[in-house]
Each structure stands twice: as structure tokens, then as C-alpha cells.
Chain A
Amino acid sequence: DAKTTQPNSMESNEEEPVHLPCNHSTISGTDYIHWYRQLPSQGPEYVIHGLTSNVNNRMASLAIAEDRKSSTLILHRATLRDAAVYYCILRSGGATNKLIFGTGTLLAVQP
């Protein structure tokens, strides 16, 4: 499985946008980019995923570089409830459909 690299931690202020980066230089053409977040003592929560084009949903936006070697998860207006560990994961579009988690980014949101 292709690997991703994320900063260990980031800080943000409440009501400001947050850009969470992810590098995946060995991504293959069929790999989907998935983002999940996990609050303490809870299971992960799906945030967004995409293949080549930028994606938007009610939770966040996903900006994918043209060469697909990096992506950015954008939280448009951080709230205290967005404090979590954010995982960027590549999922093969082939027969193997399992998700392999990396270490993620711990996002702290200051009031």
C-alpha cells in the first residue's frame, strides 16, 4: 500500500480555516485519497474522499494536487468540536479495499 506523510500536530484558532496537508508521492493511478478523523475514545469518522478532482461536502473540502502527489483537507471554519486526529489514507481501487491507517495529524483548536 502506498504511504502517506502528515505532520504530527497542528494548531488552529476557532472560526478560522484549517489546511491539513498530506503527502503521498508514491500514489498510483487507481488509489483513492480518503480522510477520516477520530475523537478520543471513539471510532474514526469518515470526512471525505476523492480520486483526481477536488471534492466538497458539508464537512470539508479536499484539494488534490494536479500530479496527485499531495492533497489538503480544508476545514472552512474550525470549531472546538473539530479537535481530533485526522488521518489521510490511500485506498487501492483494485480488489484490496482495506484501509491502512498511518499516524495522522493531531489538530488542536484554540478558542
Chain B
Amino acid sequence: GAVVSQHPSRVICKSGTSVKIECRSLDFQATTMFWYRQFPKKSLMLMATSNEGSKATYEQGVEKDKFLINHASLTLSTLTVTSAHPEDSSFYICSARLGQGYGYTFGSGTRLTVV
């Protein structure tokens, strides 16, 4: 089946630094990937749609300059949280789909803690 690998699974960074999260489709090509964030005991909130070879599409209220998305290849999308602050601490999850007629596969998530 389709596998999406997300790395790292956990990261702790200092306030003001940047953190990069990788999302890879291991056995399929994904022209589109999705990035979500999730606060404790809350549902997933879609942040942006990552498009291979073009700019990401951000959901309303998500700062594109703070959450930089790069989708340079058909198997890799990255999310960089720039100048991170404690309020950016969250669980970040990526997703992709094998193709029409399939469900969506999610990464195992990245727990970001900004101190």
C-alpha cells in the first residue's frame, strides 16, 4: 500500500530558530501533498496544499511567510516553520493520495516543541 514517511517524529527547538519537516511518499509519486496541524485534543486543521513544481496554496489565516512549503520533487514536500515561537508548538501531519479512487495516506506526524 501507499506509505508516507514523515521526519523527524519529534523536534525541540529554541524560540526564533527555524525547523524543517520532511514528508516523503515512499512507493508512489505525489503531485499534491497536504499539511495539517493539530493542537491537543483538537481536530486536524488543514494548513496548505503543496503542489509539485509550483507554489503551495495556503488556507485562510495561515501565514505563508511563516510556514514555508517546498515541493521540489514528486516524492518530497517540506514544511519549514520559520522564526518559531512557543505558540507554534503543535503536531504537524502531512498527507498524500496514491491516485483517483484511493483514500489518503498520512504521515505519522511531527511533534514540534518550541522552548
Contacts and interface: CB of A to CB of B under 8 A. Distances in A.
Contact of B43 (A42, A97, A98, A101): A101
Contact of A104 (B32, B43, B45, B111): B43
B46 to A, nearest CB: 6
A103 to B, nearest CB: 5
Contacts of B111: 41
Contact of B46 (A46, A48, A98): A98
Interface size class of B (residues with CB under 8 A): 20 to 34
B34 interface: yes
Interface of A, helix, strand, loop or mixed by DSSP: loop
A21 interface: no
A38 B108 CA distance: 10
B93 interface: yes
A48 B13 CA distance: 37
A99 B6 CA distance: 19
Interface in B31-80: 32, 34, 36, 43-46, 49
Contacts of A47: 103
Interface string A70-111: 000000000000000001000000000111111110000000
Given A43-B4, A102-B43, 13 more contacts: A41-B91, A41-B109, A43-B93, A43-B107, A43-B109, A46-B106, A49-B103, A99-B34, A99-B95, A100-B46, A101-B43, A101-B44, A101-B46
Interface of A: 34, 36, 38, 41-49, 87, 97-104
- Considering the complex of A and B, which 5 residue pairs feature the smallest CB-CB distances, nearest first? A46-B103, A43-B106, A101-B44, A101-B43, A43-B109
